[in-house]
Amino acid sequence: MLMLFIRSLRVRRRGIAYDESIMYGIQTDVLKPGTTEEYVRYAFPLNNTTLLSSFTVCIRTKIIQYREVVPIFSYAFSDRADNALMMFQSRAQLDYYINDQKVSSGLNLRLDDRLFVWHLYCMVITHPAYWIYVDGKLLKEDRLTTPSTDIPLNGTLYIGQEQDRYDGGTDPDQTLSGFAAQFNFWDYVLEERTIKNLAGCLENLRGNVLSSDFATFDQPGVTSEIVPLQSLCTEEPMFVVFPLRRQVTGARIFCGILDGMFFVPEDEKTNNRLHEETNMFAEVCDFKSYRRLLLAGTDEEQEGVWVNFNTGKRLEFTSWFDGEPNNGKNDNCVVLRNDLPQWGDINCEYSNCFSCGMSSKNYFFIRGLCKPDEHRIRFIMDGYVNDRPYFRGYYGMAIFNVGEGTWVFKDTMANLTLATMTMEQPEEYPLGRTVWDVLEPFCDFAVGDKLRLGLSPCTIEEFMCSDGSCVPRNVRCNLREDCVDGSDENDCGIVLFSGRYASHRPPPGRTYREVLYIQPHVHIVRFSKIDDINLAFYMEFEVHLTWTDRNLKFKNIKEEEDKNKLSTEEVDSIWTPEIEFLNVNDGLLKKLKSNVYARQTGEAEPPDFNDAMMETVYLPNNVALVSKTFYSHSPATSTLFS
């Protein structure tokens, strides 16, 4: 009986089973700025005299919105020891304090910085050694330089806030927006195997000093619920429903532009969740019969064998309505009903609303701003505003529809609408390159300016087509249309002018105090005629003049020089050297052809992640200009180049 009683304590305490945990939702309204009024806090008794020099602290968190600093946990036992123990994340970097010293300084410990992903962080200390684990993997092992790490258990612990003094001094820009679970504190060193088991949800060992599953925490403004342990180690399927009517082919193309996949549920829970989410779009999507939403299933290859459109693998989960599928070879696609979370088969030529499957790896980049790092230009599709999917930035920016095809670009943290634009087709989305009207001054833009923004999943190794799809960067302006809309061959000029460029003035030499050096080359093509009587000859030749113009920049330069021909407008707008020939026989000099080319002499600049055009830019010292002029000429004695 005693053994059974002890086991029952292990299985269930405070109404929580061994395979369950309490999950806290902290500042989960991502359209609101950070606040110091919502937190999870535990105050140890002030008269507690326990000192710990060997211990383990673990916590699991999931970030859904970034702040300047994202505190994971913070423990303080006095105003001077406000960082007695602390872990925090800044972009993709993990930092931590032990005994009020920033031990991680200069280590540059990199993390998975995606949103909506659970991570388990563990700090293990037995003075002077310490270990930092993330998701069961050892991230850092080192030794402390402090004489001891005695931590008194009479302080305050905050989850999702950073203390700048004992039990206070919190900052709204240094808060967790997301979820936390499984905070556990042990007065001994956990074995690495145990930490790996905790990370993989194979074990749910609670802290013997403190456990968020058993202790009572202060949680003003914070939600909490009991969740299955395994839910903390699995990524719930993510999808976005689009109230657009498309055929299957159009739906697949649209999802591909989003770097997602045409979606079909793979389990009953997700299928029910998808159906429930479509209810808000009934007015748009329920336009005929029972059909509401296209799903990514087909039996087109083999009648009666239903496979995933994206993978070609047989569907392991289906939810057919009674009597479905029912129309043989004519109906090879799948639709979700409007009345029940069940399926029917339809003709693939029908147009319906659809959904795109996304993952935490899918995010967009907003280009054309002035952000200091690429992390701040990341956007995701997350939920709906005004019954339309919207784009949300990692750091509080948002792009959403306000009706009649009008979209706004908003700083939700400052509650400012920065810019607005209207799509030509009201049902479309502002993907690719679009032009916005600035409503509030920001970056270097003034009210009334036209702002060109690019929104797409394209990385800096790619070029963004006008519709938001992506092609390799090196196919830009290669004389072939690689974008479906051909936009990779638009605006293929080579020269980038500064605002003060003067074509009448020669550029400086290697420095602004030196004269410009021009390198001439003469290539004799042929002697077309020799006149023995008049002691003259006639020849055709090509003169190459090579120079560097330090007042210009260049874009999209190819290794093959002949592909870098400047347009007539560009040649007329830049300074070019002139050639004068002396002692020409009877004025017999003809210029047959003349072109100017750009020659790559060095590497391109690192891609500018803020550039909405996503051009490959070269500085002037990495590009030489070459004029190639073809002449027919009868010289007398000499030729002078100037």
- We report the CATH number of the domain holding residue 521 as 2.70.170.10
Q: What pLDDT score was predicted for residue 639?
A: 43
How far lies 44's CA from each of 47, 138, 535, 603, in Å?
A: 9, 29, 109, 59
Let me know whether 335 and 223 are in one domain. no
* DSSP secondary structure string for all residues of 60-103: EEEEEE--SBEEEEEEESSSTTTTSEEEEEETTEEEEEETTEET
Indicate the burial class of 225 (C-beta count within 10 angstroms; 0-12, 13-18, 19 or more): exposed
Tell me the three state secondary structure of residue 621. Answer: helix
Instruction: Kindly report the three-state secondary structure assignment for every residue of 443-466.
Output: CCECCCCEEEEEEECCCCCEEECC
**Rounded mean pLDDT, 543-558:** 94
Rounded to whole angstroms, how far apart are CA atoms 307 and 483?
29
Tens digit of each residue's pLDDT (9 = 90 or more) over 291-328: 999 999 999 999 999 999 999 999 999 999 999 998 77
Distance of CA 98 to the CA centre of its chain: 32
What's the mean per-residue pLDDT of the chain?
91
Q: Is residue 469 part of a domain?
A: no
- 277, pLDDT greater than 70: yes
Let me know whether 346 and 433 are in one domain. no
- 14, pLDDT greater than 90: no
- 5, pLDDT greater than 80: no
Rounded to whole angstroms, how far apart are CA atoms 487 and 521?
37
Q: Is residue 479 part of a domain?
A: no
Tell me the three state secondary structure of residue 528. Answer: strand
Rounded to whole angstroms, how far apart are CA atoms 342 and 555?
53
Let me know whether 179 and 59 are in one domain. yes
Q: What is the DSSP letter of 174?
A: B
Let me know whether 300 and 448 are in one domain. no
Let me know whether 244 and 226 are in one domain. no
Let me know whether 229 and 244 are in one domain. no
Beta-bridged to residue 161, according to DSSP, are 175
Q: Return the exposure string of 287-316: e unless at least 16 CB atoms fall within 10 Å of the residue's CB, then b.
A: eeeebbbbbbbbbeeeeeebbbbbeeeebe
* Closest CA relative to residue 52, chosen from 191, 210, 171: 210
Contacts of 325 (CB under 8 A, 6+ apart): 299, 304, 306, 331, 344, 345
Q: What pLDDT score was predicted for residue 531?
A: 75
Let me know whether 389 and 444 are in one domain. yes
- 1, pLDDT greater than 50: no
CATH number for the domain harbouring residue 154: 2.60.120.200
**Rounded mean pLDDT, 609-627:** 95
Number of structural domains in the chain: 4
Q: What pLDDT score was predicted for residue 2?
A: 28
Let me know whether 40 and 146 are in one domain. yes
The model's confidence at residue 500, banded by pLDDT at 50, 70 and 90, is: confident
Residue appearing with tokens 């606040």: 35
Q: Which two tokens stand for residue 130?
A: 């310490």
- 4, pLDDT greater than 70: no
Tens digit of each residue's pLDDT (9 = 90 or more) over 156-181: 999 999 999 999 999 999 999 999 99
Q: Which of 299, 332, 358 is the last residue of a domain?
A: 358
Q: Is residue 427 part of a domain?
A: yes
Q: What pLDDT score was predicted for residue 362?
A: 87
Q: Is residue 466 part of a domain?
A: no
**Rounded mean pLDDT, 136-157:** 93
**Rounded mean pLDDT, 252-267:** 96
Q: What pLDDT score was predicted for residue 536?
A: 73
Report which listed range, 18-22, 299-303, 632-636, is most confident.
Answer: 18-22
The model's confidence at residue 591, banded by pLDDT at 50, 70 and 90, is: confident
Let me know whether 220 and 299 are in one domain. no
What is the percentage of the chain residues whose pLDDT exceeds 70?
A: 96
Is there a contact between 363 and 378 (Cβ–Cβ < 8 Å)? yes
Lowest mean pLDDT among 70-79, 134-143, 160-169, 536-545: 536-545
- 422, pLDDT greater than 50: yes
How far lies 328's CA from each of 38, 76, 304, 518, in Å?
A: 57, 69, 8, 76
Q: Which of 326, 358, 390 is the last residue of a domain?
A: 358
* DSSP secondary structure string for all residues of 291-339: EEEEEEEE-SSSTT--EETTT-PBPS---BPTT-S-SGGG--EEEEESS
**Rounded mean pLDDT, 267-296:** 93
Q: Where are the beta strands (DSSP E) in 535-622?
A: 536-547, 552-555, 579-580, 584-600, 617-618
Q: Is residue 468 part of a domain?
A: no
**Rounded mean pLDDT, 503-512:** 85
Q: Which of 205, 233, 261 is the last residue of a domain?
A: 233
Q: Which domain holds residue 399?
A: 373-457
Contacts of 568 (CB under 8 A, 6+ apart): none
CATH number for the domain harbouring residue 248: 3.10.100.10
Q: Is residue 105 part of a domain?
A: yes
Q: Is residue 475 part of a domain?
A: no
Tens digit of each residue's pLDDT (9 = 90 or more) over 442-480: 999 999 999 999 999 999 999 999 999 999 999 999 989
Is there a contact between 358 and 239 (Cβ–Cβ < 8 Å)? yes
- 287, pLDDT greater than 80: no
**Rounded mean pLDDT, 396-414:** 95
Contacts of 175 (CB under 8 A, 6+ apart): 26, 27, 34, 35, 36, 38, 39, 67, 70, 71, 160, 161, 162
Q: Return the exposure string of 562-596: e unless at least 16 CB atoms fall within 10 Å of the residue's CB, then b.
A: eebebeeebbeebbbeebeeeeebeeeeeeeeeeb
**Rounded mean pLDDT, 406-410:** 97
- 9, pLDDT greater than 70: no
Q: Tell me the torsion sign for CA atoms 431, 435, 439, 442.
A: positive
Let me know whether 411 and 342 are in one domain. no
Is there a contact between 72 and 59 (Cβ–Cβ < 8 Å)? yes
Q: What pLDDT score was predicted for residue 327?
A: 74
Q: What pLDDT score was predicted for residue 581?
A: 79
Q: Which secondary-structure segment (H or E) carries 277?
A: helix 268-278
Beta-bridged to residue 288, according to DSSP, are 291
Q: Which amino acid is at 296?
A: A
Let me know whether 501 and 594 are in one domain. yes
Q: Is residue 590 part of a domain?
A: yes
Let me know whether 136 and 259 are in one domain. no
What is the percentage of the chain residues whose pLDDT exceeds 90?
A: 82
Q: Tell me the torsion sign for CA atoms 165, 168, 171, 176.
A: positive
* DSSP secondary structure string for all residues of 208-253: SSEETTTS--B-TT-EEEEEEGGGGGS---EEEEEEEEE-HHHHHH
**Rounded mean pLDDT, 143-160:** 92
The model's confidence at residue 202, banded by pLDDT at 50, 70 and 90, is: very high
Decide which of 416 and 638 is more confident. Answer: 416
Q: Tell me the torsion sign for CA atoms 303, 306, 309, 310.
A: negative
